[in-house]
Amino acid sequence: MATLSELSREIAQVVAALAPSVVRVEARPGRPATGIIWADNLVLTADHVIEDDDAILVSGPPTTVKASVLGRDRATDLALLKTEGLRGTPAPRGRSQDVRLGQIVLALGGYVGDQQVTLGIVSGSSGEFRSWRGGQVNSLIQTSAELLPGFSGGPLVDAQGRVIGINSWNYGRGVSLAMPVETAEKVAESLRTYGRVRRAYLGVGAQPIRLSEALAGQLGQEGGLLVVTVETDGPAHKAGLLQGDTIVTVDGDPLFGRLDALFARLRGLDVDSVHKFEVVRGGELKQVAVTLGEVPGS
């Protein structure tokens, strides 16, 4: 077992190795935040810290440069900045799926020469989460690593110095929560390509209902989602979903008659992708292939 001095030395080495990838973001008067170098001239940070779109400064090794917003997403509280000439080492990334309850994590804020760090453990997962700004995500990493002022947009890292999440005060007041790195990667790529996050859209209104005993036994679930409205010329309408259909599975995955399960499933799917919706129509099971659209105004 490592001694305390060995553990202390290893933590200091992790912080030192990651320091060149962490930057300071100044985009609101008197309240700097943190970002991480995502790629050459690209910095990922928290969306809520960007108040002055036209007066953004990013400080990192070895200088301070101007930056502009390449894209921002209110729902996940992430923003991607394009800098003018900032070179640095992109932060190494891990996998939040490998995170285990009780493992040591570090939260970093600031930048080289003005950096802070806190130590904690993974204390849980938030499950589905709705932020005070109206965004909704499937899960967040909860830790005991304190988020100090200015830590929003900074990395949550594992003991190997790999980014496993993006910290933000937005996710929970008084609770340290981080967006999993896989979600951040998907959002950052969409912001880089489109300047926004494209979210999958089905175009129906539905409500939970109980299935007949025969269907419940056949499907192994007691409930389904009754389609009560179908938006004209929406993805569902074009695919042939009908008012009165009962949705029971998406790509073979049961929804158990839960609207939140349908919404969570859609959040993980891509615009223009095709998926099989199994429905009950006239007492019979049918499959409808739906090409998902994009949420209007997303």
- Per the structure block, which two tokens stand in for 183? 């979600």
Residue for token pair 């003991």: 159
| Contact by Cβ (8 Å): 32, 26 | yes
Spatial CB neighbours of 139, under 8 Å, sequence gap ≥ 6: 125, 126, 127, 128, 129, 180
Choose the catalytic residue: 21, 48, 131, 190: 48
The Cα-based distances of 218 to 94, 221, 245 in angstroms read: 41, 8, 17
The Cα-based distances of 251 to 59, 218, 269, 290 in angstroms read: 46, 17, 11, 11
- Per the structure block, which two tokens stand in for 248? 């029971």
Work out whether the CA dihedral 169, 172, 177, 178 comes out positive or negative.
Answer: negative
User: Could you give the CA distance from residue 271 to residue 268 in angstroms, rounded to a whole number?
Assistant: 10
Choose the catalytic residue: 47, 73, 77, 158: 77
Is 275 noted as a catalytic residue in this protein?
no
Spatial CB neighbours of 7, under 8 Å, sequence gap ≥ 6: none
- Per the structure block, which two tokens stand in for 88? 């640095």
Choose the catalytic residue: 21, 96, 131, 152: 152
Is 48 noted as a catalytic residue in this protein?
yes
| Contact by Cβ (8 Å): 265, 250 | yes
- Per the structure block, which two tokens stand in for 74? 């209110």
Spatial CB neighbours of 6, under 8 Å, sequence gap ≥ 6: none
Alpha-helical runs (H) found in 104-229: 181-194, 213-219
Mind telling me the catalytic residues?
Answer: 48, 77, 152
